[in-house]
């Protein structure tokens, strides 16, 4: 009898296993393929490794502006891809070591839930006081004629291509689509994005996303408000907002229209689990409707972010241990690792208005920062927007794009989670000169 | 009659002028030379611009590891220096525009304090309800024989050299000395540091500074516990800890042994201002002993950081406006922009122990971070240490070195300033994958 059986070793499952093991619980972690799940093997980590190569490539091209001379700048696509594989393997080994260190038992195989405390793998039944479902999600492949062709790929297959395409059509302008568009276009691939909505990255601040898209447009062509109707060989056909029929040709087509929870083939329905429109239904403590069965991460559909999965695992563990906790979504930061980066935390102006809040905002360009100017020049794009409740002065959101955004944003989570008002936030000191300081300057605009 | 007369347009003075002007006060800002003070003209900004060039140079050399080919890498020293000047001029113009926008009157000239409400410039007397002294500090030049030679420079003169030296001796292993050592050694200059104490950067965590120095040692030679006795032409003579006499030869000698407050020639003593061993004596509200006279920044000697000066200015302004505030030093972050970067906030383990606190710490290497590994490889140096009070679980300090440290550290200020305990801090979510996340992982080691 285990204290906890965790199904799925992504950032939800393996982090929860680590923390539970660290506390001395007897943990079984079941994984069907690779430690690290989608995040490590086909998601966050490989894409960031590729984008880092693209950043080196672009920065080497720009080095002359800073007084550095180079020969001709090029790249070796197979070496970029090989490095990605190496990083994945190093981190996988790291997780295995971490599981061992925290005495987590790891079992490879496909799990089936056969009751509130029972899980079957390869005909063997394992019993646990608690069962945690952390089986993640998969790319959605819409039923468009032609999607079955080998050059039509999801984010999973495109990470294993051996040759760089000359042209790429990205269907979907969300985070995944934009990161791949940024990577390939930075290397010189002809990239077009086709997005059904009128704007990319739907949760971004309205003003910032328009500025951001203007920067990406230097290298990427956007077709917004367009619906793909067919992929005929290498021809992607789509209908524009005004009803016009258009077509583009692309060596590779990336399907990045969204992700869905993995709900099939693991006995969830048969065991009596209830679902909502997003995935397995859970409460704020990550409990499902079945006693002692928890669900965390993408399979709940609550938030499709690796760090949300980790946090849900912590909430589930605290709940199991009888410690009060709750999965809150008001201060979960997110980042897009494109060139330039984008990040945000908390409510956007639009979301706050929609919630009926009397909103005030302050925006500043990142060129306010001496460091930003030194490192990017006057034309470097970037900005910060701070969103507050005008009635209470409570800090509701911080949104930014430009260099270092992904590493800066967590401080906003610390401020929002601590319930700071503008006047409190003004007393937080930032080191000078940093890009992050622009957040502080924005606080003084109110 | 002005509401506030501010003497000195560094980051203490000009930011205070901006905030006071923004609030509608009538402000006179007096500056003897250039807007921006030492920070912008001979300090933070030029050094960061130079270090950014060095970073591009080093990253271009390392690009091949990431699959990017570059040809031969070189640099144009005069272009690097010219870009530095350009950045300074852009930012100076930015401050001028900001003063105008906030209706701050700017006067160039040397100010003399002639009474609690009176300041004289070029024979004209200006009256203000409040006077703020923000005249900064200057490099200390110790009375060592030979310091008067033209190739013996402080951080000010070395920023204007026209040719790169072949060798550089840096006297002093504090922040300024280490940043210049990192810059010049990255460009291939033969650099030796001579430091009187047994370790560089005295306020760094003991373990981290040793790790950090090991990385710098790949390019810089350190002579610790050594006292310089004479600079004879280009020969720098010093005595080691064991009493041995040594000498090194250097084209340029940088004096970076510390900075002192500017207290001379401005009528401070005659006006009756009192001093302590650090500079102008001020209370927690930045009040001096004279009524309505405040002092902020380096001239107080309380904290020699640009952002501390800014914060002191805000405290002085709040005090003038009758709003309660206090200059606190427990959550002021700092950063060293060397390659690699170093940053910290709050108490180190040593400081906390010395204060009689029952200290607990947790350390992790940055290679725990998938992003760090992707961008720097397995051998990339870096670590995080979190310091807490074991009795109360209160977060006391966060210390780190490695990529992005300078931009990450402000979140630690937000946490410490908000009075978070470990269990609260564990609930702050970081985006994945980031380098900053290692702080979060460290929180879970307790």
Average pLDDT for B307-312: 98
pLDDT in tens, A168-205: 999 999 999 999 999 999 999 999 999 999 999 999 99
Q: How far apart are CA A428 and CA B416, in angstroms?
A: 9
Q: What pLDDT is attached to residue A262? A: 98
Residue with tokens 């605009």: A445
Q: Report the residue of A433, A437, A446 to disrupt the B interface, i.e. the one with the largest count of B CBs within 10 Å.
A: A433
Nearest CB neighbour to A414, from listed B40, B62, B411: B411
Nearest to B404 among A44, A65, A407 (CB): A407
Which residue in A179, A183, A220 sits closest to B66, CA to CA? A183
pLDDT (mean) for A407-428: 98
* Partner residue facing B378 (CB), from A62, A75, A90: A90
Q: Which of A151, A307, A399, A432 is catalytic?
A: A432
- Can you state the angle between helices B77-101 and B13-22, rounded to 10 degrees? 30
- The 10 Å Cβ neighbour count of residue B203 is 13
Q: Residue A379: is its pLDDT beyond 90?
A: no
Strand partners, A261: A137
Partner-chain residue, chosen from A80, A407, A432, that has the shortest CB–CB distance to B44: A432
pLDDT 10s digits, A128-157: 999 999 999 999 999 999 999 999 999 999
d(CA B424, CA B205) in angstroms, rounded, equals 24
- Tens digit of pLDDT for each residue in A316-344? 999 999 999 999 999 999 999 999 999 99
Asked if the Cβ–Cβ distance from A83 to B68 is below 8 Å, we say no
Among the partner-chain residues A67, A371, A437, the one whose CB lies closest to the CB of B83 is A67
Give the residue on A whose Cα is nearest the Cα of B91: A370
Q: Tell whether the model's pLDDT for residue B395 goes beyond 90.
A: yes
Q: In B, residues 289-308, which contact A (CB 8 Å cutoff)?
A: 305-308
Q: Which residue, B176, B148, B173, B151, is CA-closest to B162?
A: B151
Chain A residues close to B394, C-beta within 8 Å: none
Q: Do B48 and A374 touch (CB under 8 A)?
A: yes
**Complex ipTM:** 0.97
pLDDT of the residue at A152:
98
Per-residue b or e along A328-361, where b marks 16 or more CB atoms closer than 10 Å to that residue's CB: eeebbbbbbbbbbbbbbbbbbbebbeeeebebbb
- The confidence score (pLDDT) of residue A76 equals 98
Interchain CB contact of A256 with B (< 8 Å): no
Strands B279-280 and B275-276: antiparallel
* Contact criterion met (CB < 8 Å) for B44 and A415: no
- Give yes or no for residue B379 having a pLDDT over 90: no
In the predicted model, what is the mean pLDDT of chain B? 97
Which tens digits make up the pLDDT trace of B85-140?
999 999 999 999 999 999 999 999 999 999 889 999 999 999 999 999 999 999 99
How far is Cα B262 from Cα B137, in angstroms, rounded to an integer?
A: 5
Residue A46 pLDDT exceeds 90: yes
- Separation in Å, CA A105 to CA A9, A112, A306, A310, B277: 12, 17, 22, 19, 61
Q: Do A69 and B75 touch (CB under 8 A)?
A: yes
Interface check A241 vs B, CB under 8 A:
no
B13: phi > 0 → left, psi -120 to 50 → alpha, else beta; which?
Answer: alpha
Q: Given this model, what pLDDT does residue A115 score?
A: 85
Contact B48 A373 (CB under 8 A): no
Chain A: closest CA distance from residue B110 (Å): 26
- In angstroms, what separates the C-alpha of A406 from chain B's closest C-alpha? 7
Residue range B273-294: mean pLDDT, rounded = 97
C-alpha span between A12 and A156 (Å, rounded): 19
Q: Given pLDDT bands bounded at 50, 70 and 90, which one contains residue A28?
A: very high
- Evaluate whether B446 touches B391 at the Cβ level (below 8 Å): no
pLDDT of the residue at A40:
97
Q: How much of chain A, in percent, has pLDDT values that exceed 70?
A: 100
Average model confidence (pLDDT) across chain A: 97
**What residues in B contact A399, CB-CB < 8 Å?**
none
User: Going from the N-terminus, what domains does chain B have, and what CATH number goes with each?
Assistant: 2-139+260-320 (3.50.50.60), 152-256 (3.50.50.60), 334-443 (3.30.390.30)
What does the alpha-carbon distance between residue B180 and residue B177 come to, in Å, rounded to a whole number? 5
CB within 8 Å of chain A, chain B residues 357-416: 368, 370-371, 373-375, 378, 404, 406-411, 413-415
Give pLDDT tens digits for B210-257. 999 999 999 999 999 999 999 999 999 999 999 999 999 999 999 999
Q: Is B56 a catalytic residue?
A: no
Letter string b/e over residues B328-366, b meaning 16 or more CB atoms within 10 A of that residue's CB: eeebbbbbbbbbbbbbbbbbbbebbeeeebebbbbbbbb
Share above pLDDT 90 across residues of chain A, in percent, rounded to a whole number: 98
Please check the confidence at residue A43 and state whether its pLDDT lies above 80. Answer: yes
Closest CA to B410 of A385, A376, A307, A432: A432
A vs B, Cβ pairs < 8 A, gives 262
Q: Is residue B334 over pLDDT 90? A: yes
């Amino acid at each position: 009898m285990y204290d906890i059986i965790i199904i799925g070793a992504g950032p939800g499952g393996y982090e929860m296993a680590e923390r539970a093991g660290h506390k001395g619980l007897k943990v079984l972690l079941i994984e069907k393929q690779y430690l690290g799940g989608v995040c490590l093997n086909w998601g966050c980590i490989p894409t960031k490794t590729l984008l880092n190569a693209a950043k080196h490539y672009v920065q080497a091209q720009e080095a002359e502006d800073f007084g550095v001379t180079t020969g001709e700048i090029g790249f070796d696509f197979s070496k970029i891809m090989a490095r990605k594989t190496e990083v994945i393997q190093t981190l996988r080994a790291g997780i295995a070591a971490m599981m061992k260190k925290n005495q987590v038992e790891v079992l490879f195989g496909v799990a089936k839930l056969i009751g509130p405390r029972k899980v079957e793998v390869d005909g063997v039944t394992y019993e646990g006081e608690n069962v945690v479902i952390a089986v993640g999600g998969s790319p959605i492949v819409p039923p468009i004629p032609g999607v079955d062709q080998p050059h039509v790929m999801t984010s999973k297959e495109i990470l294993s291509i051996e040759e760089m395409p000359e042209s790429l059509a990205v269907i979907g302008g969300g985070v995944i689509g934009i990161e791949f568009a940024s990577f390939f276009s930075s290397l010189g691939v002809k990239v077009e994005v086709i997005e059904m909505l009128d704007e990319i990255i739907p949760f971004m601040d309205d003003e910032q996303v328009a500025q951001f898209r203007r920067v990406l447009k230097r290298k990427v062509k956007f077709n917004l408000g367009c619906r793909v109707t067919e992929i005929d060989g290498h021809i992607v056909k789509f209908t524009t907002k005004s009803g016009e029929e258009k077509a583009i040709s692309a060596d590779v087509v990336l399907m990045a229209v969204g992700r869905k929870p993995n709900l099939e083939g693991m006995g969830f329905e048969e065991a009596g689990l209830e679902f909502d429109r997003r995935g397995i239904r859970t409460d704020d403590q990550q409990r499902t409707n079945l006693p002692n069965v928890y669900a965390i991460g993408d399979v709940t559909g609550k938030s499709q972010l690796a760090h949300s999965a980790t946090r849900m695992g912590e909430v589930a563990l605290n709940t199991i241990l009888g410690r009060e906790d709750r999965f809150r979504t008001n201060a979960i930061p997110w980042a897009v690792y494109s060139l330039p980066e984008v990040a945000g935390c908390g409510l956007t102006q639009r979301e706050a208005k929609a919630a009926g809040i009397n909103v005030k905002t302050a925006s500043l360009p990142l060129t306010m920062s001496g460091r930003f100017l030194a490192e990017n020049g006057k034309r470097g794009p970037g900005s910060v927007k701070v969103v507050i409740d005008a009635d209470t002065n409570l800090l509701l959101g911080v949104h930014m794009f430009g260099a270092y955004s992904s590493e800066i944003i967590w401080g906003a989570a610390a401020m929002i989670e601590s319930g700071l008002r503008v006047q409190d936030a003004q007393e937080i000191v930032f080191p000078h000169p940093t890009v992050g300081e622009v957040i502080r300057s924005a606080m003084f605009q109110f």
